[in-house]
Amino acid sequence: MFIHHFHALNIFFLIILCQFTHANEILSVEHSVEYENLLLQVTQIHTQAKLNHYAWRDTGKMIIDASKLAHQGEFMQANKLLRQAYQECILAEQQSSTQSDLSELIPYYLK
Domains of the chain by residue range: 25-94
- Phi then psi for residue 26, to 5 deg, are -110, -35
Please name the residues in contact with 38: beta carbons below 8 A apart, sequence gap of 6 or more.
Answer: 79, 82, 83, 86
What does the pLDDT read at residue 13? 62
Higher pLDDT, 9 or 21: 9
H or E segment to which residue 75 belongs: helix 75-102
Q: Which band of pLDDT confidence, cut at 50, 70 and 90, is reported for residue 99?
A: confident
Task: Indicate the pLDDT class of residue 2, thresholds 50, 70 and 90.
Answer: very low
CA 31, distance to chain mean position in Å, is: 18
Average pLDDT over residues 27-42: 84
